[in-house]
Amino acid sequence: MADVLIIEDETIIRQAIMRLLERDGLHVTGAESVEEALANGPLSHHDLIVADIRLPGRNGMDLIEAAGDVPVIIMTSYASVRSAVDAMRRGAVDYIPKPFDNDELRMTVERALREHTLQRQNAALRAQIDADYPVTGIVGHCAPMQGVFERINRVAPTDTTVLILGESGTGKELVARSLHEQSHRRDGPLIAVNCASIPETLIEAELFGHEKGAFTGAERAREGLVEAANGGTLFLDEIAELPTAAQGRLLRVLQESEIRRVGASQSRRVDIRLIAATHQDLPALIRVGDFRDDLYFRINVMEIRLPPLRERSEDLPELAQFLLEKACRRLNRPTMAFSKDALVQIQAHHWPGNVRELENVIERAVILTDGSEVSASDLALKDADGDPAAERMDLSLEEYFRAFVRTHEAALTETELAKRLGISRKALWERRQRLGLQRRRQAG
């Protein structure tokens, strides 16, 4: 039973609220003042506090701070909307205007209690995940991954620039997210930019923003991605793809904590933490003049190197199982398991596309498998060497969708087909329209 504390100095009002909430099955205690409430025991014993803003002695505002994690609803007269706004700013979860409407009060209390329960459940879930995996959502027990976790835990709480190295698909972005989530910037933005995906001519304006008229087509001034990361983390993936001019601008941002938009004469202060990643050999690029050595020295303060999947074979069974559960959840399929021969194949494969390839192979197998077991043939991996995996990787999900629909549509209803694909019937219909994949009528 949820426990609610009412602090209200007017006895009639306090008792009326207590009776009202007791009728809703809540355990309610009352106090005339903040001092009396504190004398009766720690505030943390309650699930919710409803307090008048004007009280004799310490007022309701003081209480918000004293309440810590316990949500506080403030009661205020219509005349003092201003103080209600102040109370919300200082952390009250809601306010109830006086004179109050009984139903409105009950609904506000119920909503605050529900949100508080949800928050507690989320915190418990997060703690559970943290306990299962040392760094949120990153699977790996092999020695090199343990080294990676140790570095993440050490460097995450600092503002140090981190350079993540590793082949494509080894989890560089995942590590960057984890560094952000474990830093004091976690409530700030994480802006992830793949430098290879922005055309060279646009990259400076995209990253650093521009003033109106800075170049043809710049009709309005625009904030860049670096500024958007202010107060948070900027993750620059494939940093080796940054053209030399942009490298110079980035270096200035890092050295001076200031940014100058393209075409601007004034600088603006920015507070960002940079995490960079690349699969390339930066010292080799420096030698041929494609990467600035001063930028390299500035970003290479702390290095995290991710091993390729082929060097992590002891992690493969756990990682495959983790990705299988993830795919089943995403595609709305009941839990599945790998057959023995599937696990043998997973161990034998070379995984040139690393974890991303493993994830794609598993997701496709989940889509194509009927039963609850994924067999070696569902994985469609050939052998450890010379397997044209890259060819299969080129098959887009749309092509799989097309093949899956054409193979199964004669035997399944649209509802069954949608369910097997893990999408709604409406989504199936829409995708059919988009791909020109009209339903074929069955002969006879």
Q: Is 6 helix (H, G, I), strand (E, B) or coil?
A: strand
Distances (CA, A) of 262 to 132, 159, 209, 232, 251: 46, 27, 6, 22, 15
Amino acid making up residue 329: R
| Least distance to ligand ATP, CB of residue 320, Å | 10
| Least distance to ligand ATP, CB of residue 378, Å | 20
Looking at the Cβ atoms of 16 and 393, the one nearer to ligand ATP is 393
**What number of CA atoms fall less than 13 Å from residue 77's CA on the CB side?**
4
Looking at the Cβ atoms of 152 and 259, the one nearer to ligand ATP is 152
What is the b/e burial string over 223-242, where b = at least 16 CB atoms within 10 angstroms of the residue's CB?
A: ebbbbbbbebbbbbbbbbbb
| Least distance to ligand ATP, CB of residue 232, Å | 18
Q: How far is CA 290 from the centre of its chain?
A: 33
| Least distance to ligand ATP, CB of residue 307, Å | 10
| DSSP conformation letters of 293-339 | HHHHHHHTTEEEEPPPGGG-GGGHHHHHHHHHHHHHHHTT----EE-
Contacts of 374 (CB under 8 A, 6+ apart): 324, 336, 337, 338, 339, 342, 362, 365, 366
Closest CB to ligand ATP: residue number: 171
Looking at the Cβ atoms of 143 and 435, the one nearer to ligand ATP is 143
Q: How far is CA 161 from the centre of its chain?
A: 21
Looking at the Cβ atoms of 75 and 304, the one nearer to ligand ATP is 304
Looking at the Cβ atoms of 224 and 353, the one nearer to ligand ATP is 353
| Least distance to ligand ATP, CB of residue 374, Å | 17
Looking at the Cβ atoms of 8 and 241, the one nearer to ligand ATP is 241
**Nearest CA-CA partner of 352 in 308, 395, 396:** 308
| Least distance to ligand ATP, CB of residue 129, Å | 12
Cis omega (within 30 of 0) on the bond before 99? Answer: yes
**Nearest CA-CA partner of 399 in 360, 372, 371:** 360
| Least distance to ligand ATP, CB of residue 388, Å | 20
Looking at the Cβ atoms of 8 and 363, the one nearer to ligand ATP is 363
Looking at the Cβ atoms of 236 and 374, the one nearer to ligand ATP is 236
Bridge-based pairing of strands 94-98 and 268-269 is unpaired
| Least distance to ligand ATP, CB of residue 321, Å | 11
Looking at the Cβ atoms of 361 and 376, the one nearer to ligand ATP is 361
**Nearest CA-CA partner of 214 in 202, 226, 225:** 202
Residues within the interface to ligand ATP (CB under 6 A): 138-140, 166, 168-174, 237, 279, 319, 322, 355-356, 359
**Nearest CA-CA partner of 169 in 2, 296, 352, 7:** 352
| Least distance to ligand ATP, CB of residue 154, Å | 18
CB 306 within 8 A of CB 171: yes
